[in-house]
Structure 1
Amino acid sequence: MITLLNSGVYSSIQDNGRWGFQQYGMIVSGAMDRNALKIGNLLVGNEQDEAGIEITYGLTTIQFESDRLVAITGADASPLLNGKTAPMWRPFSVKAGDQLQFQGALSGVRSYVVCAGGFDIPIVLNSKSTYEKAKIGGYYGRPLKSGDTVALLPMNEWQHQLFSKLHERKQHLEWSVNFGDFCCFRKQNTLHVIPTGQHYLFDEESISYFENAIFTVSNHADRMGCHLQSKKPLQLSNQRELLSEAIAFGTIQVPPSGMPMILLADRQTTGGYPKIGQVMSADFSVLAQMKPTDQIQFRYIDVEQAEQALLKQYKAFQQIKQAIAYKLKQI
């Protein structure tokens, strides 16, 4: 069991999402940075789709009420274990009574705490993810609050053995996962965009401006969408009403204000605003870790280029998976 001594800005239980129910109006939700969560699960011997705690901007303090194997991935929020620097992107052991404190995000936005065995959370529509508006999933259908206690599932035999070995060493591992193939924590990033079928609805000046201008992430950025600001609004060639249609993580809608909005994990299932593009899947982790005042430049690519980028990332993930398995056997 763990206790939230301080829940921070926004902390919630998330897994890989609630897939297969969008046709009924149910959003996918899930971790914003799925790669970070998956790697965290690999580090502690969980299934890749097990839930973890998604911590936004840090400032969260967790107390462990039992011995546990743990990993922290995602944004660097200066984590401290009992007042000393806690390791990131590698497994480590905690004892009952230990406190894990996040001081505040130095780079990125979202950190993930993954515990061996996983969280003892009811599965709703094949997922443990928190869907706050519908009050389902996660911890009683809401974000975590200070004072909450969350039960943990038992560790398996292999996880117990790894915990014992790490605890006996009383020191952190020298190696950690190289996450550079998935995310770069920079103030300015390039996101690669596939033009949508509605791309042609925008005037030529707006299409050119979209690819050449620098957009700034506004303060209105949350799990539902990343609102952007720029010097000039994007405009359609002719104003018209559009039918609502399916949208996805990374869909770039342009509301009447002309300022783009990139849809994220808690997006609605359909949208009627014109769409100028779709961020490629290989850039999702970069997008998930961008915070207000960060800057974005867009670059158009075709579907084949997006597929190649995703395949390259998939191969990198498989290499990390194999390397983790090998390293853990050497402990």
Structure 2
Amino acid sequence: MGNLLAEYQRSGEKLSNRIDRAWIDSLLRFELQSRNIDVPFNYDVTNANGDSLIFTSTADGKKPQFTTDEIYKTAIFNKDVVNDPGMLRISFPEKNSLILGRMKASMATTAALIFVLTFCFAYTITTIIRQKKISEMKTDFINNMTHEFKTPVSTIMIASESLLDPDINTDTSRVSRLAHIIYEENERLGNHIERVLNVARIDKNDFKLENKPVNINDLIAVVLDSMELKLQKCNAELSLELSAEHPVIIADELHFSNVLYNLVDNAIKYSDGNPKITISSFNKNGQVVIKVADEGIGMSRDQQTRIFEQFYRIPTGNVHNVKGFGLGLSYVNTIVKRLNGSISVRSEKDKGSEFELKFATA
């Protein structure tokens, strides 16, 4: 009641006389600074209806333009009932830059977290897919290995049972033939085991190369001589073009002969009908170049990018149509690189493949 009486006593007083401009300006700045709002601002004071301007203040000295969406307003004398309470309007021309500036750190952190989460998600998915492919290849490897081991073991078992037959014991020619079969299958089984062990040693880096000067022309002849029966059995047409005048390289004779054996063996495996194989050697730019080419089933571009992976085998319809574990070319690639050489392949589907090895001359 006392406030209302005092208001009636000042009822004729103008709004401009009731307002202290310096007090409003200093109070505004104090409140804004206490809230850590340090940006330019414009304000004006009008009557309650906003149709009579009492005074104004701008950051740039120009007449302020107030729009409904950009201003904040409040009554100056909000408890006055009789007199005009007045209106204070304030705007911040650089409000958006203030908001963005304050959000910059949180936005950067959010963007960084999103990037990290996206990377982790992509890496996880890629790892899962890679592990799935490796698991599938290992499963195929185990299946193939079981099949490859089972065949010679079964053959040896049958031959051994035949030798126990008294009727066969008296026939020396049949005993000799069965003994020869057991020997061949045992040798085949030993070769399979040696291949798996070689790859295991390579994975563990548990082998040493005994490097020495090796004549690759002579070594090719030795390898082909050891494969003579295999080449004859499949009626292979072999063409040799060993024209390297400086054929000596520094290599491990055993492992390098295995490299050549694997390449020729693959040429036989992946050929339809009678294999046609060309082996050549020549010198170029201070290097010895060895090529092993065939006219077999060839490979697609996608297959060429994966043939040096462990356990990878080129699909041939029937998984056991082409014997092997998918370890040969992985072994070849590793040995060639350990000998500071390079290996490349050129192939075309249904037209054949050509493997090229390059080594520095000794």
Question: TM-score, normalization: structure 1?
Answer: 0.21
> Which of 1 and 2 has higher RCO (CA within 8 Å, sep 6+)?
1
Of Structure 1 and Structure 2, the greater helix share is in 2
Of Structure 1 and Structure 2, the greater strand share is in 1
- Could you say which structure has the larger radius of gyration? 2
